[in-house]
Amino acid sequence: MSFMSKALAFAGAAATSALVAAAAQAAELKVGYSLSETSHYGVAATVFGEELEKRTGGKYTIEQYPANALGGEREMVEGAQIGTVDVVITSTGPVGNFVPETLITDIPFLFKNYEHAHAVLDGPIGQEILDKFPEQGLIALAWGENGFRNLTNSKRAVKTPADAEGLKIRTMENPVHMEAFSEFGILPTPMAFPELFTALQQGTVDGQENPIGVILSAKFSEVQKHISLTNHVYSPALIILSPVVWDGLSDDEKAAFTESARIAAAAMRKKVREDADNGVAILKEQGMEVVEEVDRAAFETALEPLMAKYSERFGKDRLDAIINHD
């Protein structure tokens, strides 16, 4: 071997080992979410981190940024797009502004129960939606869960849409939710979640709606008197990864990320159910007045004109495929 080729071989080997070293270097991923560490999102983040570490031989670990530490959900999703946030666990609230195909899942009274939602989201319909994310510079690893949402307010017990009329209710920054709330006769006020506690405390809005686990985690019982078990809309969640991370992964690593997210999503769903089952009693202890006998049929009827519009906008076949799904 000539001196030159020896030198080149040496340089090549050095470059290769530098690459191997870089690849083997552990990476700590920033995981952001809007709730406390003890919430369903916290449970999911912990499980995701454990699984990922195990499945990548310790190469990938996570650091958690709970309670809006990296901003509201819209900001975190933007962060994932540009790579300043690695992983976001988020409701679908603001996601339709990035990937409009998710909006169909935000329609009130669409999913009958948890099993129905899981069957749709874990099947081809759900996968088709996840597959739309890369076009918008995002990777959706798995559907998670936020839960069925319930209405709270500081003014009065709400049983029917007529009771809710005129209340100023914070909604997520989600056009489908806002339209539906207008239809109930409510004044929808879109607002990012990090501003919500103070807005309720100061009376900027009369109420809000969220799953039991969120109401518990965000301590809304401190600033809200009434809760109606409206269960008016299923609120999915997503585990989103920045494409900046995804694009640097091997195929095996991609599989490890996806599998870890699926296991985390299952843990998230389990915690949502526990909170839904046990949380109402806790909210009562915290002094909330609970309306259990909500006239759901009246709320659903109020939405009929909007459902006709949604049928046009999202496609009747598509909507029926979800509604009639086992």
Please spell the DSSP secondary structure of 261-317, one letter per residue: HHHHHHHHHHHHHHHHHHHHHHHHHTTPEEE----HHHHHHHTHHHHHHHHHHH-HH
Residue 201 CB coordination number (10 Å): 13
Instruction: Give the shortest CB-70-to-ligand EAX separation in angstroms.
Output: 13
Q: Which of 93, 126, 161, 207 binds ligand EAX (CB under 6 A)?
A: 93
Should residue 223 be labelled a site residue for ligand EAX when binding is judged by CB under 6 A? no
Closest CA to 169 of 192, 198, 146, 200: 200
Closest CA to 159 of 110, 208, 229, 220: 229
Please spell the DSSP secondary structure of 174-210, one letter per residue: -HHHHHHHHHTT-EEEE--GGGHHHHHHHTSSSEEEE
How far is it, in rounded angstroms, from Cα 207 to Cα 188?
10
Q: What one-letter code names the amino acid at 163?
A: D
Should residue 34 be labelled a site residue for ligand EAX when binding is judged by CB under 6 A? yes
Phi first, then psi, for residue 98 (nearest 5°) are -105, -50
How far is it, in rounded angstroms, from Cα 85 to Cα 156?
40
Can you list the alpha helix ranges (DSSP code H) found in 87-157?
A: 114-121, 124-130
CB 79 within 8 A of CB 40: no
Instruction: Give the shortest CB-191-to-ligand EAX separation in angstroms.
Output: 8
Should residue 193 be labelled a site residue for ligand EAX when binding is judged by CB under 6 A? yes
Instruction: Give the shortest CB-90-to-ligand EAX separation in angstroms.
Output: 6
Q: Whose Cβ is closer to ligand EAX: residue 74's or residue 159's?
A: 74
Q: Which of 51, 73, 253, 275 binds ligand EAX (CB under 6 A)?
A: 73
Q: Which of residues 249-278 bind ligand EAX (CB under 6 A)?
A: none
Tokens standing for residue 148: 């069925």
Q: Whose Cβ is closer to ligand EAX: residue 130's or residue 256's?
A: 130
Instruction: Give the shortest CB-171-to-ligand EAX separation in angstroms.
Output: 8
Tokens standing for residue 151: 């209405």
Q: Whose Cβ is closer to ligand EAX: residue 236's or residue 253's?
A: 236
Instruction: Give the shortest CB-310-to-ligand EAX separation in angstroms.
Output: 21
Site string for ligand EAX, 273-302 (x = CB under 6 A): ------------------------------
Instruction: Give the shortest CB-22-to-ligand EAX separation in angstroms.
Output: 35
Instruction: Give the shortest CB-250-to-ligand EAX separation in angstroms.
Output: 31
Tokens standing for residue 17: 């080992």
141 contact partners, CB below 8 Å, separation of at least 6: 238, 239, 240, 241, 257, 258, 260, 261, 262
Q: Which of 172, 186, 227, 261 binds ligand EAX (CB under 6 A)?
A: 172
Q: Which of 56, 153, 210, 230 binds ligand EAX (CB under 6 A)?
A: 210
Q: What one-letter code names the amino acid at 119?
A: A
Should residue 106 be labelled a site residue for ligand EAX when binding is judged by CB under 6 A? no
Site string for ligand EAX, 129-158 (x = CB under 6 A): -----------------x------------
Q: Whose Cβ is closer to ligand EAX: residue 73's or residue 253's?
A: 73
Instruction: Give the shortest CB-299-to-ligand EAX separation in angstroms.
Output: 18
Q: Whose Cβ is closer to ligand EAX: residue 107's or residue 256's?
A: 107
Should residue 92 be labelled a site residue for ligand EAX when binding is judged by CB under 6 A? no
Residues that bind ligand EAX (CB under 6 A): 34-35, 73, 91, 93, 146, 172, 193, 210, 214, 235
